[in-house]
Structure formats: C-alpha cells, structure tokens
Structure 1
C-alpha cells in the first residue's frame, strides 16, 4: 500500500535481501529468439549482405587449405617449380581477399547492429512512457535503467560479434565436411570421432551458463537500483551516519553478483580448455590413422596435410560455436529482460473515448473504491461533488488516502468500482492526455530537470514567452531569489534542482503550475517546505490562482485551508466528515480535535 505523501509514481521496488540465483532461469529462450528475429527482419538487407560476405569468406577459407595440400602434391613433392609462383600469387590473393571481406562484413554488421539497438532502445524508452504508473510502484528504478543500458549494450555486443562468427562457423563446418568426404571417406569418419562428445559437452555447459548469465543481468539491475537509491538519498544516509550500513548492503549484493559472475565465466570459460583437449585428441587420431593410410598408399601426403589443416579448421568453428553459443545465451537473457518490459500491458483507453475540447471543472466521485493491491482497498465507497471553481480541502492523518484521491482525479490509476466524473463524463471515457492537459499539479516532492530555471518553469506550458515565465515566477514569489542567482533565469540546475533549497524548488514548481493556467488544480502539501512568511505570500498567490478554478488542496497545516469551500476529512480510506471550517468546528468531531491539537501546538 502506498504511504500518504509518496509521489504518485511510487518508490522503487526491492528484490529480496539475498538473491537465489540458482532458481533464476530464462523462461522462454526460443520465444525470445523469435522476438529478436522480428527486430532483425527490419534490417534484413544488412544481415543478408553480411551473411553473403560471410559465406564467400567461409568458402575462401576452405579453398585455401585445399590448394595448399594440392600444391604440396603438385609442386613440392615432385620438385616441380613451373607455375609455382603463379600458384603462390593465387593463394596470396585469396587470403588478401579474405581479410578485405572480413573488414567489410565487420563494418556493415556493426552499422546494422547499432541501428537495431537504436530502435530497440527507442521502443523501450517509449514503452516506459506508455506504461501505467502502477508498473513502477514495485520495481526498482535502477533495474529499469539497467535494462535499457546494460542489457541492450549486451545484445549489441553479441549481435556485432557472435552472429557473424556463428554463421561463419556453421558454413565452414558444412564446407569442410563436404571437402573431407570428397578426399577420403575413411579419414572423414576418423576426423568426426570426437564430434558427439563435443556436442554433449557444449549442451551440458550452455544450459548452466544461460541461467547464470540471466541471474547476472538480474543482479546487475538490482545493484544499479541500490546505487541509484543511495546516491539520491546520500544526505539522509549521512545525517543518520549510515554510511557503513549502506556499504555493507552494497558489499553483500556485490559479493552475490561476483559469485554469479564467477560461476557464469567458469562454466563459459571451461569450453575453451575442454575443446582444446578434444582438438588435440582429434589431431593425434588423424595423424595416427593418416600415417597408417599413407604407409598403405591409401592417401597422399598432400591429402594428409589437407586433412590436418581441415581438422584444425574443423575444431576451430566447433570451439567458436561453443563459445558463441554461450555468448548468445547471455544475449537471450538480456533480450528476455527487454521484452518483459516491451510486452507489459499499456494504459488502456475506453473504446468509446470522447474528444474533449474544453472543461468547466466540475468533479464528482460516485461510490469510488480503489486498491493498489487487490483485496486491500485504500479508498472505500467515497462520494462527493465539487462545483466548478470551488476549493475542496482533503485533511486527515498520514496514510488516510488523501493523495490517492488526488491521484485518481489525475487518472494516475483507474478505480476498481464506482465512477469519477468531470463535467458529468466518466474520466475513463476521456483520454488521459486530455484530462492532464487541464490539470495543474504541485506535489510535495518537487521534481526539477537538469536544465535552466526558465525551462523548468516553461515545462508547465511549452509555448509560454519569457515574459509569461517571469510573471508566473512573480506570482509564486520565486522571482526575487531567481534574479539573485549567477545567471538568473538562465541558471542551469543540477539533477533534481541541486543547489537550491527545498523551499526554492517548491516555489519553482508552483510557478510551473501557475504558468500552466489549469482548470483543475491539485496542491499536495504545496507549501509544506517553505517558511511561514513565504507560505503567507504563496497563499495569497494561490488564492488568486484558484479563483475560477476547481482546486484540491491537501494540507496537514489546517490553518492553510480555513477558507476552503468544503473540507473532506479522510480517515482509513473513507470520508468521515465534510463541511466548511466553521461547520466542522461546531460539530466538534474528528476535525475539531485535529484542529485544536495543532492550535494548541502553535500556542506553545
């Protein structure tokens, strides 16, 4: 359940304190590959061109050893040098062309892959902005950032390097087997003795590395989440002297990530030595049988040389296939994490959607029920009506549901039961974009962007002139401190308004809302972070701003909402009292006790 005062987007979610990577598995590797191929199809001509070059390169790589073997039988053994120079030139030309084709295919593949991951990154970022806010409530921001950076970079690296080698290895294997069969079927059978063992080892190891690579990417996302949380909350950490505690949290998670990484790399790295062992075994078998067949004059020395070269070429693509297969497992793990987000259900709009050109600002709740977690309602059968241009105040203890009611008006969430109406129209029949275009919201937690103060205020209305920006800042009583800054309105803010006080950041957010000139205002503890004198200035500005606009004011300082047209007292998700300040005071109920407790504190 969301606590009162939290931002509507919710806090970052958390994985458990100890991550059990043994249980993490890729859910659907083949399905993930199919989805990845859909992206690759968009750039099919680049991939096709690379595959053609790779095929030609593989053929040339197979022809080279064959010519060397035949050159030995034709020129070296009979000591015949007529035409030998031409033979060397042809052989040199083949290998030069092979190198040139390798550079071309690398360049084209790199460009194609970068275009592919550009589109994937764009789709991912666009998807984030189309997802409902509830998606982010229980997810770590760091994990989401890790997916769009680390996971997509991993896919890019594997596609750039492994796909070419994988295709080249398969083509080379087929070509080598074909050439070996043409030369000697018995020697080919001898050369293939170790293949079943190689395939079994590759399958045995790859199954384990795939799961470890997925666990590695998941833990990396969790580590990013912890880092993001600690950096953003560094002041709180220092205030409570919790540096050592946070370092220990990091070390524990870092240790888990290290152990997963070691296991992934140990299994992945074992492929090479094991393949070398099998290669040497294969080479010894070929040499032994080749010597015997040569002694029996069943095969020439040149053909034995061809087989030895082919055996080395044969084991090289097998090694590459094994290694690249493990890298591809890593890319599949990353791709699955990307597609998990891309396939999340987006915010839905009612099929009978209405085009809203303008609104008056009437708001009505009819028997509204809402829960963040199914079966645990935080808003229970809430009903009220606000006439256009009126001010409604929401008061009550922390966690009562005040911010949730305001979030429902903004349609950050949809109700479970009941209706919310604006001008008599169910907001589920309105586009979220239309609703929010008529809203002005000032939250308790102020978000400012890493740009100038002027552009931060202009975020409320992008087509506003500089004069309108300055006027909004004056109404919010932000102008005086802004012009004292080194570059005034052109001062560039660091991340989240660093360098300004919390109260100054709040004033800029209020100026932004003023500039938006909304029909409905939501002020969630909008003056909670300013001093008493500044609060009075802002209250006067807000009174002018709220004239003619429907306003929802959430406040713990009850003195700030005495003039509201209606006060709703929210307790445990229900409205337990309603009326004007004077009516509620005369009633001497919950509001009276709440107000008098604050009044008593102020007297003290």
Structure 2
C-alpha cells in the first residue's frame, strides 16, 4: 500500500492548505456564518410544519395555517438564497486560494534548476499545475466547508428530533449503524479508485504532451499505430479506474436508499401501533409523523454525502501534497549574490572548473581559459565533449562542483542571478518560439522594448525583409513552437531577440547547424553584426563559421586539448583541430 493510500488523515497537511485562507479570512467567516444559519433553518422549518399540522390543520385554523405557511415559504426562499450564496462564495474562496497557490507554484517552477526538468516529465508538471490544483479548489468548494455544513445539519436535526419526540428519534436511528458501516466501506473503495484516477490522469497528460511535442519523430519512424496502441492501453486503465469509482457509487447509493426506506418503514409501523392507544393526540401524532418523514431525508442525505465529500477532501489533500512536493523541492539555484549593480564589460575567466551532472561523473574537468572583453571564443569537439555544459554553467542553469567562473573579476555566484542573466543572451540550435506574434516572441513581454527597436534589430540582422512579407508583419502569429516558420527564420528571430536585449555576453550554440546554405549566409551576417564589440562564445560543428574567432578551444571528454587561433591550430600537424578541419573540407577551404 502506498503512502498516500495508507494514510487516512494528515492534520499538518490540512493546516498547511488551510493557511492559504488567511488573506480571505473575512470571506471564510461569512461562509461559515451562512452555513450555520442554513443548518438551523432546515430543522426549524420542519418543526414549524409539525406545529402547523398539530395545531392548525386539526383545528381547521385557516388564519394560523396561512400565517405559518407564509413563514415557511419565507424560510424556504431564505434557504434558497443562502444556498446560492454558499455555493458561490465557497467556489470563489476555492478559486482564489488556487489562484494564489498556482501563481506560487509556477513562480517556483521557473526558479528550479534545469536538472529538475531533466528528471521530471513536463506532463507531470502540467498535471500538478492544472488538474491537481482543481482538486485543491474542491477542498473548499465541495469538501471541508460542505462537510462542516452537513455535520451542523445533522447536529441540529437530531437535536430537534429528540426535542419533538425522543422515542420516534430512536426508532428512526435504528438503521444508522448499518449506514455507518456501509459508508466506511464506500469511503475506502472510492478513495482507492480516486487515487487510481489521478495517477492515470497524470500518465495520460505526460504521454499526450510528449507524443504531440515529438509528433515529427512519431511520423518519421512510422510509430503512429504503436503510439495509438500504447495510448489506448493508458486510456483503458483510466477508464477502468473511473468505472471502479462508478461501481462504488452504484452500490452505495441504493444501500443508503434502502436504509432510508427502512427508517421510514419503522417510523410508520411504530406510529400505526400507537394510533389506537388511549390518550394519544392524533393531531400531535400526525404532525410528528410528517416532521420525522422530512427529518429522515434531512439526516440521510448528509450522511450519504459525507463519505463522498470526505473523499473529495482527501483527494484535494492528495493533490495539495503533490503540489507541495514540488514547492518544497530545493533544487534552486542559490540567488545570494551581493553584486546587484555592475558595469559589465564581458571579460570571462574559467579557473580549474569541474562539473558533473550526477555525483562525480565529471563531464568538464579542470577547465582553465580566459576571454578578454569583446573577444570571440569558439568551442569545438565531438558530441558529448562538454561544449553545451560550459554555457549552462555560465548562465548558472547548473552549478559546478569545483573551481570558479568570473566575469570582469567577479565570481558569477556573487552576482545577483537576474543581473547575471540580463547580461547574457543565448541563441540555441533548437529555437523555441511561443504561440504568439513575432513582436511578442522577440520582446518576451518586456514593455521597455519598443516596436521600433525590434524593427531596427531585424534590419540589422537581415530579417526585416521576410518578416515584412508575412501577413500582419511583426504581428504575425507564429503558432506553437513557431511551426509556421522555417528553421532559418526561427533562428533569425532568435538573433533579433538576442540583439534587442543588448547583452554583454552573447552565446551561440550550434546556431547554423540545421539550416540551408542560403539561410546560413543570412545568419552568418547576423552573427558578424551581433558579435561585433561584445564578448561572444560560439559552439559550432561547421568550422567555416569560426575561422575569425579570436580563440578556438578544442574539447575532448570534458578537457581542453588544444587552444589557439584558427591559423595557429592549423599549424599543428597532428592536431585534433587540423584533422577535424581537413575532414570537413578535404584539405580545401570553402
């Protein structure tokens, strides 16, 4: 049995969830007051009906009957309004809390280091931020507050029953032990099925998100039928989990109706047995019978719903626990830098840097190199040599284990994280664009960047012409991941994005490896414009793009094996760079 399934209640977890009601204390107080009033009005209305039958119908007092009927109608209208207010305000409270919690969760996710995303599927995070959040909202809209209301209704109804006639109250309550047993069995069954449903929802989200994102791979390798079959299996498990919950409901509710009918039958039998008793007031007995028939419905309905609502509460707590597990994840990049202002020039220094993604399986080993401000340094090497790891360390997306990395003599760990990243721009091989306009994808929502600046940058990098030809120009919606643009066009937009942020350090990671020759000429021109006068780090497989770099560093298995200019490295007869260059160009420059 899992930890979630084995625990029946977690007080500390509930307190943590409940702490999110603090900003809405006034709203919560109003809801609790309304719930209490409703719990009193229901039994009071039934007591008034008892009095009306006993005193006015038997005596044929039409005036009194009319007065009490109007009072009861008024109470019913009041209950209707208060029920509306409770439903609306409870939902409002739940959604307000979820809004705050979801904002906190998303903010926390954006601060997590990339290592966290390496280990956790995106679909799971989507489930936490969307589906699990809705179960948290139900803690207040359908769980906790509803349970309090039902319990108060039971307390006031039972009290009123014993006040009116304690003997009839005992008769009505005879089947209750059986109802409690049935409720407990139902609660356990529905809890297990709900947990299975949540697990399968997460599996569905993860599977669908990954396959849709990688749809090109599915089609290229002809995996459509196989993936459809796998999805069908997961979907079938999801269906079965839901059916198990439906099965529990389909058994439990009829059992409750049977027990409710048993209470009604016992009540009628007992009342009929007293009809011929001398001294029994028939009007009083008729009034009590009428009232207790209504009380049976009043006490069985909340008892029947309590098990369901308690499971809703528990599922909300399970969802909250999953959300809190992410919130409590401490895989954050420490932002303890004291340098909050700095006139960056862009000088870089790696001193004895060691880095491993997992424990001490180092992918970078004892790196030592310096880059003067305004220089361009290029990294070359086989896949897995550690090139991309270097840029991940520079932006503090991962933390290195040994050594130091400095910018203008300041250790990057001493620089405030946002300040550090504001001065570094990265153009990746696989450019990510959001569904939205080109302008929004360039500015990333920064209101300080004007459209004129974007147009100026586009002209500089040679992208204005193709953008201007698009429908709506800079307002053209590129759709999800920039699917309506070519690879080269997406790269050019990434260059515009890098330029408008005016970074002191520019990183180009395989920026020309996936494009055609025509696009490469445009992008090479953009690179020349962007790198001019600023520190640039270039990672490239195409050596023709880095011949003019001030320094070329050759990596092998995380270590620097050669360093120098293009001309210097070509002079080394058995050098790794020269061999790589000759392999690409067959001894002839192109």
8 Å CA contact 1:214–1:334 kept in 2: the answer is no
Task: Give the Cα–Cα distance (whole angstroms) in 1 for the partners of residues 249 and 388 of structure 2.
Answer: 51
Residue number in structure 1 paired with 2:38: 57
Deviation per residue, 1:338-382 (Å, 9 max, x gap)? 222233226353546222322121212222222222343322332
2:441 is equivalent to residue 441 of structure 1: no
Residue number in structure 2 paired with 1:595: 581
Picking from 380, 392, 404, the partner of 1:407 is 392
Residue number in structure 1 paired with 2:226: 245
2:95 is equivalent to residue 109 of structure 1: no
Instruction: Mark the CA change 1:84 to 1:415 in structure 2 (over 3 Å): closer, same or farther.
Output: same
Picking from 542, 565, 568, the partner of 2:527 is 542
How far has the Cα of 1:602 moved from its partner? 8.2
Deviation per residue, 1:239-294 (Å, 9 max, x gap)? 33221122112112111211222223333554322322322233333333444456
Picking from 431, 448, 455, the partner of 1:470 is 455
Alignment of 1:210-225 (within 5 A): 210-225=191-206
Task: Give the Cα–Cα distance (whole angstroms) in 2 for the partners of residues 310 and 488 of structure 1.
Answer: 69
2:108 is equivalent to residue 122 of structure 1: no
Picking from 121, 141, 154, the partner of 1:140 is 121
How far has the Cα of 1:500 moved from its partner? 1.0
Residue number in structure 2 paired with 1:451: 436
Alignment of 1:286-301 (within 5 A): 286-292=267-273, 300-301=284-285
What number of residue pairs does the alignment pair up? 584
Residue number in structure 2 paired with 1:386: 371
How far has the Cα of 1:565 moved from its partner? 2.2
Aligned partner of residue 397 in structure 2, secondary structure:
coil
Task: Give the Cα–Cα distance (whole angstroms) in 1 for the partners of residues 180 and 365 of structure 2.
Answer: 62
Residue number in structure 2 paired with 1:18: none
How far has the Cα of 1:525 moved from its partner? 0.6
Aligned partner of residue 135 in structure 1, secondary structure:
helix
Instruction: Mark the CA change 1:277 to 1:266 in structure 2 (over 3 Å): closer, same or farther.
Output: same
8 Å CA contact 2:374–2:535 kept in 1: the answer is yes
Aligned partner of residue 83 in structure 1, secondary structure:
helix
Q: Which moved more, 1:307-316 or 1:552-561?
A: 307-316
Alignment of 1:280-429 (within 5 A): 280-292=261-273, 300-301=284-285, 302-345=287-330, 347-349=332-334, 351=336, 353-429=338-414
Task: Give the Cα–Cα distance (whole angstroms) in 1 for the partners of residues 76 and 499 of structure 2.
Answer: 71
How far has the Cα of 1:163 moved from its partner? 4.4
Residue number in structure 1 paired with 2:65: 84
Aligned partner of residue 130 in structure 2, secondary structure:
helix
Residue number in structure 1 paired with 2:18: 37
CA-based RMSD of the aligned residues comes to 2.8
8 Å CA contact 1:460–1:516 kept in 2: the answer is no
Aligned partner of residue 368 in structure 2, secondary structure:
strand
Task: Give the Cα–Cα distance (whole angstroms) in 2 for the partners of residues 592 and 275 of structure 1.
Answer: 84
* Stretches of structure 1 lacking an aligned partner (at least 5 in a row): 1-20
Task: Give the Cα–Cα distance (whole angstroms) in 2 for the partners of residues 469 and 385 of structure 1.
Answer: 33
Task: Give the Cα–Cα distance (whole angstroms) in 2 for the partners of residues 538 and 101 of structure 1.
Answer: 66
How far has the Cα of 1:505 moved from its partner? 0.7
How far has the Cα of 1:391 moved from its partner? 1.6
Q: Which moved more, 1:288-297 or 1:125-134?
A: 288-297
8 Å CA contact 1:388–1:550 kept in 2: the answer is yes
Instruction: Mark the CA change 1:134 to 1:58 in structure 2 (over 3 Å): closer, same or farther.
Output: same
8 Å CA contact 2:132–2:323 kept in 1: the answer is yes
Task: Give the Cα–Cα distance (whole angstroms) in 2 for the partners of residues 250 and 501 of structure 1.
Answer: 30
How far has the Cα of 1:445 moved from its partner? 0.9
Task: Give the Cα–Cα distance (whole angstroms) in 2 for the partners of residues 78 and 515 of structure 1.
Answer: 90
Task: Give the Cα–Cα distance (whole angstroms) in 2 for the partners of residues 490 and 179 of structure 1.
Answer: 68
How far has the Cα of 1:474 moved from its partner? 2.6
Task: Give the Cα–Cα distance (whole angstroms) in 2 for the partners of residues 259 and 511 of structure 1.
Answer: 51
Q: Which moved more, 1:131-140 or 1:79-88?
A: 79-88
How far has the Cα of 1:458 moved from its partner? 3.5
Could you say which structure has the greater relative contact order, defined with CA pairs below 8 angstroms and 6 or more residues apart?
1
Deviation per residue, 1:549-583 (Å, 9 max, x gap)? 22111111122222222222222222233233333
Instruction: Mark the CA change 1:203 to 1:381 in structure 2 (over 3 Å): closer, same or farther.
Output: farther
Instruction: Mark the CA change 1:593 to 1:295 in structure 2 (over 3 Å): closer, same or farther.
Output: farther
8 Å CA contact 1:142–1:226 kept in 2: the answer is yes
TM-score by length of 1: 0.89
Instruction: Mark the CA change 1:277 to 1:315 in structure 2 (over 3 Å): closer, same or farther.
Output: same
Aligned partner of residue 166 in structure 1, secondary structure:
helix
Deviation per residue, 1:462-482 (Å, 9 max, x gap)? 534444322322332212222
8 Å CA contact 1:409–1:420 kept in 2: the answer is yes
Instruction: Mark the CA change 1:189 to 1:371 in structure 2 (over 3 Å): closer, same or farther.
Output: farther
Residue number in structure 2 paired with 1:170: 151
Residue number in structure 2 paired with 1:493: 478
* Stretches of structure 2 lacking an aligned partner (at least 5 in a row): none
Task: Give the Cα–Cα distance (whole angstroms) in 1 for the partners of residues 340 and 245 of structure 2.
Answer: 54
Q: Which moved more, 1:102-111 or 1:72-81?
A: 72-81
Task: Give the Cα–Cα distance (whole angstroms) in 2 for the partners of residues 537 and 78 of structure 1.
Answer: 100
Instruction: Mark the CA change 1:254 to 1:391 in structure 2 (over 3 Å): closer, same or farther.
Output: same
How far has the Cα of 1:67 moved from its partner? 2.0
Aligned partner of residue 481 in structure 1, secondary structure:
helix
Residue number in structure 2 paired with 1:205: 186
Task: Give the Cα–Cα distance (whole angstroms) in 1 for the partners of residues 118 and 427 of structure 2.
Answer: 20
2:538 is equivalent to residue 578 of structure 1: no
Aligned partner of residue 86 in structure 1, secondary structure:
helix
Instruction: Mark the CA change 1:534 to 1:105 in structure 2 (over 3 Å): closer, same or farther.
Output: closer
Q: Which moved more, 1:429-438 or 1:467-476?
A: 467-476
TM-score by length of 2: 0.91
Task: Give the Cα–Cα distance (whole angstroms) in 1 for the partners of residues 104 and 177 of structure 2.
Answer: 42
Q: Which moved more, 1:216-225 or 1:414-423?
A: 216-225
Instruction: Mark the CA change 1:39 to 1:476 in structure 2 (over 3 Å): closer, same or farther.
Output: same
